[in-house]
Amino acid sequence: MADASDPAERMALILTRGGMQRMTARVLCAVLFADQETITAGEIAERLVVSAGAVSGAIKMLEPVGMIERAPVPGSRRDHYRFPDDGWQRMMSAQNRVVDEMLQAAEEGIKQVAEGGPAERRLADMRDFYGYLMAELPALIERWQRDRAQA
Amino acid sequence: MADASDPAERMALILTRGGMQRMTARVLCAVLFADQETITAGEIAERLVVSAGAVSGAIKMLEPVGMIERAPVPGSRRDHYRFPDDGWQRMMSAQNRVVDEMLQAAEEGIKQVAEGGPAERRLADMRDFYGYLMAELPALIERWQRDRAQA
DNA sequence: CGTAGATTTCACGAATTTGCGAAAGTTGGG
DNA sequence: CCCAACTTTCGCAAATTCGTGAAATCTACG
């Protein structure tokens, strides 16, 4: 249950190819695929057959981004984690933060590049395209939330 | 002109943090910020102060994904590269390909997980969210193209 | 065809990254 | 207050990644 035929591990692999750290991806997927409401760091380590330290490190990446959250579980001294309800939107936001930074870099680039030159045209194009997407995405997500609430 | 205060290098750094290989990102940004219609591999190597081999390797990543393209330039024995007109949309598509794979993995996961359990709910949620986005994005991009054509 | 300029390939060395193991730190219970 | 169960931190060794340098390959032109 820990080889590549495990869908969880497969997805982790895909995320890794998509740029996520390996261990981070594996921990995230372990949480996603866990057939329980919450899961402890120890359980994750057990399933992935990795050290507790490795899990701890991965959590330190995932938690601040909001892709997993600590779940208050009274009467237990270990930390329980779960995937937030709005986890996917958070993941999206994390992506968009990168795009935002790119837009800033593009803006600065435009300032420093010859006016009317090819570089300016390219960068302006980039700014327009991603700017448009970033502006429209929130509405799209909102619409999804509405549709989902009705279902 | 090759330090971190260079907007091109800055953007490359951002892309790297976003998951792209460092050299790949630097080459891409060199093409983007070049104030000429096309640029040769040699010129890229010169500006980035890296070996020709490194540039070659990066191009081998960027070209098949369509994020740079060879420009036919008669009367020159070196290859000229440029950023395609639809480069940003291609970049988007490349991203989406990863999402597609994730959706597949989610689908498989749903099959293997207990029916009605928390894992199934999470995975179905993921499928719905990203499925929705993937379905709506093309229309969004199309709209952008229309708006842009009018401007 | 031969040649000069340019790109790609390949193997090696370096540097970064990664995860483990163990010790230290926390937190709730007795 | 001490204990016990977890978690986090830290140093280290292994593995992977990265870019260079040099040789091989390619291509347009003479």
Point out which residues pair with B69 in neighbouring strands. Answer: B82
User: Which residues, including other chains, have CB under 8 Å from residue A117's CB and lie 6 or more apart?
Assistant: B35
Question: Distance (Å, rounded) from C-alpha B91 to C-alpha A129?
Answer: 11
What integer pLDDT is reported at residue A94 of this predicted model? Answer: 84
Q: Which of B22, B93, B101 to mutate to test the interface with A (most CBs of A within 10 A)?
A: B101
- Given pLDDT bands bounded at 50, 70 and 90, which one contains residue B75? low
Q: Are B35 and A115 in contact (CB under 8 A)?
A: no
DSSP state at residue B66: T
What integer pLDDT is reported at residue B1 of this predicted model? Answer: 46
Coil/strand/helix, residue B81: strand
Q: For B14, which of A102, A114, A140 is closest by C-beta distance?
A: A102
Output the CA torsion sign for B6, B8, B11, B17. negative
Closest residue, chain A, to B131 (C-alpha): A144
Coil/strand/helix, residue B40: strand
Q: Per-residue pLDDT tens for A58-95?
A: 999 999 999 999 987 766 667 899 999 989 988 888 88
> Which residue ranges in chain A fall short of pLDDT 70?
1-4, 74-77, 151
Protein residues with Cβ atoms closer than 7 angstroms to any atom of nucleic acid strand D: A 40-42, 52-53, 55-57, 59-60, 77-79; B 21-23, 49-54, 57, 74-77
Q: Are B15 and A102 in contact (CB under 8 A)?
A: yes
Domain ranges of chain B: 7-82, 87-150
Q: Per-residue pLDDT tens for B41-72?
A: 999 999 999 999 999 999 999 999 999 999 87
Tokens 């940003």 -> residue: B88
Measure the CA angle with vertex B59, ends B57 and B64; round to 5°: 115
Which residues in chain B touch residue A118, judged by CB atoms under 8 angstroms apart? 34-37
Separation in Å: D18 C1' and B63 CA: 20
User: Which residues, including other chains, have CB under 8 Å from residue A97's CB and lie 6 or more apart?
Assistant: none
* B8/chain A closest Cα distance in angstroms: 7
C-alpha B81: how far from chain center:
16
What integer pLDDT is reported at residue B43 of this predicted model? Answer: 95
Pick the CATH number of A7-82 from 3.90.420.10, 1.20.1090.10, 2.40.10.10, 1.10.10.10: 1.10.10.10
Closest residue, chain B, to A145 (C-alpha): B129
Separation in Å: C25 C1' and A52 CA: 15
